[in-house]
């Protein structure tokens, strides 16, 4: 069978199964207060084309021809970015997407990790992020269901990326994944060019805004200046716009995950969700420039209690954030 025929047959078979596409991104590995941010957005394959078309159309309407991302936010483009964010969160509220963001407190750094685990931390944490964040093990729909995992810039040298992909691919061997009928094809664990994926670009904006505010970047004044820059002010305004959407989503939760359990032996690699004092998305407490921000509240219920219907579970929210602790 020729390669083209094999691909054609494979494409036909793909249409027979439900697929969940998860865009993954990571950011800020050296934050002053919070670090190791991992973000993901999940979409059904049956919704993918319509969602991508809607976001692309909005970008075209606003004359946003290139890639949109957090680092590009300026005062001149603030209103346009707000409109894209409005559309993105409207899709979240319609239950077309699920967003998850994971990060850790910089001060909570494990002291008993081997050099190998430190080197492989992205692989280990991405593994746990995909495994736990979206409630995939509670899938109770038609089986099997395949995952397509899209990573924006795999954080490893070229010669180590195959090992990273193999580790993520091995998720399907997990007993809970097998029971839920979750499968992964090796060629569906891929590195993407985010400039071609508008859903990923929206994820970048949300992830960037949260890492920006939690690390108090909104308070920074450039060297030699006496006040904040226009770009910083624009980013702060966009963050608060995003925060209003997050508060408006149903059942927002901030969970705490034990980071040592993410990096220990294979039999113990699981996220344990615990009650925490909470992290404020207005900058670790009230901002002196804005005191009306809201701290996302904690809920003590463990992940295991979140039962079907699956799509509304896995932290029981459309937008979920959780903090890793030692």
Measured in degrees and rounded to the nearest 5, phi and psi for residue 104 equal -135, 155
Reported confidence tier of residue 323, pLDDT bands at 50, 70, 90:
low
**Helix or strand or coil: residue 125?**
helix
Domains and CATH numbers, the chain: 17-325 (3.30.420.10)
With a threshold of 0.85, does the pTM exceed it? Answer: no
Mean confidence (pLDDT) of the chain: 76
Distance CA 215, CA 104 (A): 11
Read off the pLDDT of residues 179-213 as tens digits, 9 standing for 90 and up. Answer: 999 999 999 999 999 999 999 999 999 999 999 99
The gap from C-alpha 261 to its chain's centroid, in whole angstroms, comes to: 20
Question: CA separation (Å) from 312 to 22, 120, 316?
Answer: 16, 32, 6
Q: What is the pLDDT of residue 114?
A: 77
CB 238 within 8 A of CB 85: yes
CA distance 39 to 206: 9
Tokens of 301: 């219920």
Lowest pLDDT segment from 125-129, 198-202, 274-278, 279-283: 274-278
User: What number of other Cβ atoms are within 10 A of residue 218's Cβ?
Assistant: 21
Query: What percent of the chain clears pLDDT 90, i.e. is strictly above it?
Result: 44
Which pLDDT tens digit goes with each residue over 44-62?
Answer: 999 999 999 999 999 999 9
Average pLDDT over residues 72-92: 96
- pLDDT of the residue at 294: 30
> Crossing angle, helix 161-169 and helix 121-132, to 10 degrees?
30
């Amino acid at each position: 069978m020729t390669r083209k025929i094999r691909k054609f047959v494979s494409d036909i078979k793909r249409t027979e199964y439900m697929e969940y596409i998860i865009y993954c991104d990571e950011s800020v590995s050296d934050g002053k207060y919070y670090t190791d941010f991992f973000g993901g957005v999940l979409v059904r394959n049956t919704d993918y084309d319509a969602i991508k078309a809607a976001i692309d159309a909005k970008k075209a309407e606003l004359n946003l021809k290139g890639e949109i991302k957090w680092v590009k936010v300026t005062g001149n483009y603030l209103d346009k970015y707000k409109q894209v964010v409005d559309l993105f969160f409207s899709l979240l509220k319609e239950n077309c997407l699920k967003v998850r963001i994971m990060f850790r407190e910089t001060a909570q750094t494990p002291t008993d990790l081997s050099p190998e685990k430190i080197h492989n931390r992205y692989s280990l944490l991405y593994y746990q992020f995909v495994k736990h964040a979206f409630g995939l093990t509670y899938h109770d729909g038609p089986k099997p269901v395949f995952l397509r995992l899209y990573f924006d810039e795999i954080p490893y040298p070229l010669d180590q990326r195959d090992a990273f992909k193999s580790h993520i691919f091995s998720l399907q061997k997990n007993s809970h994944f097998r029971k839920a009928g979750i499968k992964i094809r090796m060629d569906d664990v891929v590195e993407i060019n985010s400039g071609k994926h508008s859903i990923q670009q929206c994820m970048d904006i949300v992830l960037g805004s949260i890492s920006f505010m939690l690390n108090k970047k909104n308070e920074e004044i450039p060297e030699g200046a006496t006040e904040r820059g226009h770009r910083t002010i624009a980013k702060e305004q966009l963050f608060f716009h995003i925060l209003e959407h997050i508060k408006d989503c149903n059942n927002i939760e901030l969970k705490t995950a034990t980071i040592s359990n993410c990096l220990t032996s294979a039999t113990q690699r699981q996220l344990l969700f615990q009650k925490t004092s909470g992290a404020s998305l207005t900058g670790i407490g009230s901002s002196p420039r804005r005191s009306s921000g809201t701290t996302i509240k904690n809920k003590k219920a463990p992940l295991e209690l979140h039962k079907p219907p699956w799509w509304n579970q896995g932290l029981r929210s459309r937008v979920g954030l959780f903090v890793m602790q030692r």
